[in-house]
Structures are given as structure tokens and as C-alpha cells.
Amino acid sequence: MRWPASARHNAFYELLAAFDGPGCALCRITRRSGARLLAEISFESVNDREVRDRLRRSRGLCSWHAWDLLDDTRDPYGAAFIYHDVLHAILVEADAGADITRQESPCLICDAVAAAERRNLGILLEDVEAAELRQHLVASGGLCRSHFRSALLTGGRSVVNVLESQREVLRGASRPGWAPTGALPDPRTASVRAGGARHRRPADDVPAEPLVLLLAGPRPMHWTAGDLNFAATRCVSCRHGAEAAYEVIDRVAPGAPLCSSHLWVMLDRRGPQVARALVEPTAAALSSTIEDLGEQVVRAKTLRLGPLAIRLPAAEQALRAIQQRVGSVADCVACKEFREVARAERAGPRCRLHLAGADRARIDESVHWWRELDAEVAEYLRKSDYRFRDEVRGPEQSAPWRVVQALSGDRGLPPERAYTAGRPHKEDSSNT
């Protein structure tokens, strides 16, 4: 049931504000909820016993959120504190002969982000009939393909309005020079951060090629593909897999399936004009799908009788037809290449994510690497104490970044590797 204006709570207005930036508002508000939790853990809960126990059981954070802690929250001390505790627990298990590749729970930020995503999607589907919300949805450039698919599969009486809004956006996006018209946040306050961190615009507020924004959602990271230095990556699987994936991106054909993360890499490496030409067939295919789904979506609407939601047999049949049309996804060609190359047997240490299934020699190499890191992280933490501030700094100053790389993988891992415990990234891995 759609809330009357007087009954709307803060969540509605928070979602409304998320439409002020370019690209999918659900991506933006979901990622920012994860960023707030990261900051809370880093600055307030890092000594909480339950939080630390959960982090040990999940082997730290997933790759994306671990690097967000360093790149977005910008708290290397917090990262070092968390990962020193996690690494010590893993090394104790290694000494006891336990399976150090097992993981008992998923990334706690991922769990919170998934809950926020479901909540905000529900708010959107309940209130998208509101003229102000629908206007913002179109002005911001619509939903990314992943959240658009989620909205269609969720159903509800407002799903037709989502479909019509997305159709309007795609019709505009097909015109050269089209761009979202939503206003950007006030630059005087949008990038204000706590502490002494340098002010900067959030990554998801940075404008980009409109079709990439439409398909992939707002930029998820501050780094660009040009910032990555694979030669410095110790994990042989991360290094060779990423190099192979980037080679695929450099020669990818128009319309080839790419996940949202690799769409941004493609934009960084090949520029906006080439990127637009490469994704235009995908946008055209999505537009065609929306035109074809119009009748089924209308039939799939849920009837509401007060607090009750009823879906008639005809609506169930229409929903199944929609699921068959939009539910299956093609595998990202860059992710596929990464997996195939990363699985190859090579000498050299591996990060924790790529250690599963490795032979004894590879495990021993990795554990030796981790023991060296354990000592360096401990030294970094010691020198962060004001009592030792006059001591000469050395290589241990890069230990927070290297221990994250060792336990959570390198930046820009494919989605299914980035998110832990076998739980894939919520973004789909298709560009079709």
C-alpha cells in the first residue's frame, strides 16, 4: 500500500535524495548504507567482541568492501587492526593443521547491504506511483539493468510504473548527447567527510557516459583501471587473471556481455566514445525487451485489498513469463576469462580466495607469505602508537594494503570472487 505523504518515513526521503546523482538511485543508496556501516565498524566497533568474532569467522571482509575500507573510508589503521586479528586466527589454524580455506559466514557488510537493497526496492515499488518519485527516477537516468530486473521479478502494483519510466529513459538514451537531468548534490556539502580526510566527491556522484551509467549503475569505486599495477600483486591468480580479463576488455566486441564492474573498466581503458559504441547494442536489446514485456507486466500486477496482496493465476503465469525472459543472464566474458586463467596451476603464493583446491606446496607458499605480513602489520600497528611516532618508518607502512590483498584478493576481482562464502555480487554478470 502506498503511504500517504503524512505517513512516509525517513527511508522514503532518503531514497528520494539518492535520485539527485547520476545513475541508479538504488545502487547509490545501497552502497552508501554499506559505507556507513564500514565507517561505524572502523571507527567505533573495531574492538567490539561480537564484531571481531564475526570478522574472524568470515575471514575479514569481501574484496570490494575491504578495498572500500582503504579507498573510501580511508582508514588503513582500522584495516590493519581488523586484518591483523583475522590473519593471526588463520595462522593459528594453519599451525593446528586445520583447513584454512574454509569460511563460516559471509561478509557482514554484504549481509547488511543485501537487506538495505531489499528494503529500498520495496519502498520504490510501493511509492513509485508518487509523481515526485517517478519524475526523479526518469531524471536520474532510471535503474541499472540489475535493479530493473529485480523490480520486474519482485512484482507489485507499481512495477508497471517502473517499466514505463525505464522505457522513457531508454528512448531518451538512444539519442546522441542524451544525459540524465537530475541535479548533482551541493558541492559545498556533498563531499564533506569526518576527521582530517581530504574532501572529494563520492565515486557514485561522478558523471560518466550515460549508457554505461544506465546499464552498470553509478561508479562503485574511486580507483580507475589506470591506477592498478598488477606487477605488484603477489597473488599469482589475481595477477594473471586480471591481466587476461583486461586483454579481453581491450578487444571486446559490441554487445558482448560484461558485468557492471567490467563495464566501468572498459570505460576507463577505452574511453567514452568507444564505450558507448560497444554498449549501444545492449541498450537497444534492453529497450526491445521492455517493449515486448509491457503486456505481461500489466497482467502480473498484484491486487491489494487493504494489507493483503493477492496475485491471481493469470498474474502468476505472466510473472513466470517475465522471469523466463529476464531471469537468465549471460556470463561476463571478462569474468569467464579471469576464472579460467586464475585456475591454472602456477608456482607462487595465492590470496585466500584463490587458495581453495590448491596443493600443499601452494598452501605452504601462501602461509609463508602471510607470516611475513603478520609481522609487518604488527610493526605498522606498533608504530602507529604515539609513543613510537619518532621512529623511522619503513616498508611496514604499506602493510594494510598488502594484508587486504593477501586475505581478500586484489582490487577489481570479478563479482563472484569478490563476495565471500560463495555468495555472488548482487549485480548480475550480464550485459544483455
Inside any domain, residue 156:
yes
Give start and end residues of each alpha helix (H) in 128-226. Answer: 131-139, 145-154, 159-173, 210-216
pLDDT along the chain (432 residues), means of 10: 51 82 88 90 84 92 90 89 94 90 87 89 77 78 87 74 83 73 50 51 76 87 76 87 93 92 92 92 87 77 69 78 70 91 88 86 91 94 88 90 93 62 41 40
CA gap 194, 202 in Å, rounded: 14
Q: Is residue 424 part of a domain?
A: no
- Please report whether residue 123 resides in a domain: yes
Range of the domain at 136: 13-183+206-418
- Residue 425 domain flag: no
Q: Flag whether 178 is in a domain.
A: yes
**Interior/surface letters 56-87, b for 16+ CB within 10 angstroms, e for the rest:** bbbbbbbbbbbbbbbebbbbbebbbbbbbbbb
Q: Is residue 74 part of a domain?
A: yes
| Cβ atoms within 10 Å, residue 13 | 10
User: What does the pLDDT read at residue 103?
Assistant: 84
Give the separation between CA 64 and CA 419, rounded to whole angstroms.
Answer: 7
Answer whether residue 211 is part of any domain: yes
Residue 132 counted as domain residue? yes
Q: Work out how many domains the chain is built from and give that number.
A: 1
What is the Cα–Cα distance from 277 to 334, expressed in whole angstroms?
A: 18
- Give the Cβ contact number of residue 352 at 10 Å: 22
| Residues facing 429 on adjacent strands | none
pLDDT for 244: 94
Question: Rounded to a whole number, what is the distance in angstroms from the first to the last CA of the chain?
Answer: 32
